[in-house]
Homo-oligomer: A and B are copies of this chain.
Amino acid sequence: MSVTSRALALLGAFDAGHASLTLRQLAQRADLPMATAHRLLGELVSWGALVRTASGSYEVGQRIWELGLLAPVPSGLRQLAAPFLQDVYKATAATVHFAVREETKALYLDRISGNDSIPVVSRVGGRLPLHTTGVGKVLLAYAPEDVQSYVLSHLTRMTRYSITDPRVLEEELRAVRRDGYAHTKEEMSLGACSLAVPVRNGCGEVIAALGLIVASLDPERTRLVAALEVAANGIRRSIGERHFTQ
């Protein structure tokens, strides 16, 4: 167990639900003696990886934020896609999502928040299940066999409308591949429906998904899906021959 791995364990103790941690919590979560954690945290703070708040707890520092913006995958694909999310937002005024699949989860690379007040649980940099969101269903529909079978056998319930029967979901995934878009009705959070389309690279592989959140699907589903498809094609052209796999 190296020093470096201990310091990284401290950084790893932070996540979406734990953005602010005390020394004790950090020591526990990283499984380190408090004295050791204390010293390492001191170094991390003095470098700027963490900051100490007035109340004494630790939070992720600005320097890590800046560093993160240099990361190639989010930075590259995300920046490429950003203007097209804008377009979708302008055309629909809905909350727009851009996500990739990471293992058996949807990783949200970007989001534009609509000015309606639909409850949205996504967070940029956060992960949500593949079977309860529009972008998730798209990513799942085009995922390798083993990922699909794993997800299909682990369908957790998020709301009373979540699909938990593998056969029902399998049928939906077929529909996604047939129709070219996915939809959800309050399967992730009550009051929120979604539409999503695949984003392909130059070779035609699905590498991401583009979706939006609305209060109800039907009044203008066709127009919304069309807006998403236009943007997805735009992203595809923009990707050109560059090799974004994943």
Report which A residues bind B (CB closer than 8 A): 2-5, 7-8, 11-12, 14-16, 19-20, 40, 43-44, 47, 49, 51, 53, 59-62, 64-75, 82-83, 86, 89-90, 112-113, 115, 123-125
Contacts and interface: CB of A to CB of B under 8 A. Distances in A.
Contacts of A53: 72
A77 B61 CA distance: 14
A49 B3 contact: no
Contacts of A14: 67, 70
A130 B130 CA distance: 45
B71 A59 contact: yes
Given A4-B40, A14-B70, A113 B83 contact: yes
A65 B112 contact: no
Contacts of A62: 71, 73-74
Number of copies: 2
Given A60-B70, A70-B14, A65 B5 contact: no
Contacts of A61: 71
A234 to B, nearest CB: 11
A22 B50 CA distance: 26
A69 B4 contact: no
B74 A70 contact: no
A5 B42 CA distance: 11
A209 to B, nearest CB: 17
A70 to B, nearest CB: 4
Contacts of A15: 70
